[in-house]
Amino acid sequence: MKATFTKLELHFKRPVGTSRGIMHIKNSWILKLTENGITGVGEISIIEGLSPDFQNSESFEKKIQEVCEELEHGAWNMEHGLSSVKTFPSIKFGFETALLDLQNGGKGIIFDNDFTHRKHKLPINGLIWMGDESFMNEQIEQKLTEGFSTLKMKIGAMDFETELKLLESIRKRYSKNEITLRVDANGSFTPHHAELALKQLSELDIHSIEQPIQVGQWEEMKNLCAVSPTPIALDEELIGIEDLSKKIELLETICPQYIILKPSLHGGISGTQEWIHLAEERNIPWWLTSALESNIGLNAICQLAGEYNNPLPQGLGTGSLYTNNVESDLVVEKGFIFKKVMSEK
């Protein structure tokens, strides 16, 4: 087997605001595994300041190269993977994707299911990025015009009262039966402030809030989940939790209403599947979200979502963010993502 990788610098169509500042570009590494004339492709995608396995490009690329060499010498198998990437979820995701693609003939098929075969559409939320009031209003109007019935608004960039007014403006026009509203706080509240904020959000029939307080405060998060009138979803809280026993401890200590999974951050494909299994055992609903991958990684995550009968809208509408995205057959239309039907030749 031959393993190679190249860096892909993705350029946002317009800078996007996150809890980690303004992003103009996002880096990925495209991995290719070739054997017997067939090539499998995967994406190793990171978000600086959030990905637990990324410190700098030099050391990161060195790690990717090490894994490539191990694989070329036959040190990898899909059942157990490489122990050396256990704490490198983005690298693990890229290699798992490429190997599955390779095993399935190098045609971009990661999972053989109805989504992959263009027979099923996945509901997704429309993402409203942080920014000033006018920019966020502009995005809200655009997503509503495009037919989204679930909106997810990132909060924490402006003062909370202004963000509440934006949410109120939507709720005045659309009831919870017409438009589902999710918010993502990225840990922007203190535990004390969160209690009041969660009550105010509940008055607007908010579906859920992601990560209201900073990670690592398990007791505080447990208390919030127990009393909050707004359901709480864990996201960043799951990053870096790799051991099965620790995952169980987290879920059974905090008892969240939802968990949100990003394969590039939460243990690759196999780690994400383990989280799903543990959550379903405990009747905790979940959904998948892109970690700003190109269409290569997004395709894999969509196919992974297609393995499950999950009616909740997924967070997979990020393919249109970049000026130089990889060409894809993924289509977003009226709040769904699906593979377009290829015309017969």
Q: Please name the residue that has the structure tokens 């690592």.
A: 216
CA-to-CA distance for 156 and 191, rounded, in angstroms?
14
Residue in 143, 152, 154, 247 annotated catalytic: 154
Contact, 107 vs 342, CB < 8 A? no
CA-to-CA distance for 335 and 149, rounded, in angstroms?
6
Residue in 92, 152, 262, 339 annotated catalytic: 262
Strands 336-339 and 330-333: antiparallel
Residue 29 zone, left/alpha/beta (φ > 0; ψ -120 to 50; rest): beta
Structure tokens at 249: 């401890």
CA-to-CA distance for 276 and 286, rounded, in angstroms?
7
- Residue 257: strand, helix, or coil: coil
CA-to-CA distance for 215 and 250, rounded, in angstroms?
12
Answer positive or negative: Cα dihedral of 159, 163, 169, 172: negative
**What are the residues whose beta carbons fall under 8 Å from the beta carbon of 108, sequence distance 6 or more?**
41, 101, 299
- Has 121 been annotated as catalytic? no
How far CA 213 is from CA of 1, 28, 191, 287, in Å, comes to 45, 28, 6, 20
Structure tokens at 66: 């090490």
- Has 262 been annotated as catalytic? yes
Contact, 28 vs 293, CB < 8 A? yes
CA-to-CA distance for 291 and 294, rounded, in angstroms?
9
> What single-letter DSSP state applies at residue 297?
H
Provide the annotated active-site residues: 154, 262
